[in-house]
Amino acid sequence: MTRQILVVSTLAELDTARQKLAGPVGLVPTMGALHAGHISLVKLALEECASVLVSIFVNPTQFGANEDLAKYPRAIERDLELSTAAGEDLLWTPTAEGMYPPGFQAWVEVGEMTRTLEGAMRPGHFRGVTTVVAKLFSAVRPDRAYFGQKDAQQAAVIRQMTRDLNFPIEIVVGPTIREDDGLALSSRNEFLQGPERSAATVLYRSLNAAKTAYEKGERDGEKLRSVMKDTLALEPLANVQYVSCADYATLQELAHVEGKTLLSMAVFVGKTRLIDNFVLG
Ligand code: AMP
SS (HEC) of the chain: CCCCCEEECCHHHHHHHHHCCCCCEEEEEECCCCCHHHHHHHHHHHHHCCEEEEEECCCHHHCCCCCCCCCCCCCHHHHHHHHHHHCCCEEECCCHHHHCCCCCCCCCCCCHHHCCHHHHHCCCHHHHHHHHHHHHHHHHCCCEEEEEHHHHHHHHHHHHHHHHCCCCCEEEEECCCECCCCCECCHHHHHCCCCHHHHCCHHHHHHHHHHHHHHCCCCEHHHHHHHHHHHHHCCCCEEEEEEEEEECCCCCECCECCCCEEEEEEEEECCEEEEEEEEEC
**pLDDT digit string (tens) for 50-83?**
999 999 999 999 999 989 899 999 999 999 999 9
pLDDT tens track for 106-132: 999 999 999 999 999 999 999 999 999
Q: For the whole model, what pTM was predicted?
A: 0.97
Question: Dihedral of CA 169/165/161/20: which sign?
Answer: positive
125 catalytic, yes or no? no
Residue 55 Cβ contacting ligand 1 at under 6 Å: no
38 lines ligand 1 (CB under 6 A): yes
Pick the residue whose CA is nearest to atom 14 on ligand 1. Answer: 148
Tell me, what's the pLDDT at 1? 47
Express each pLDDT in 200-210 by its tens digit: 999 999 999 99
Atom 19 of ligand 1, residue of closest alpha carbon: 185
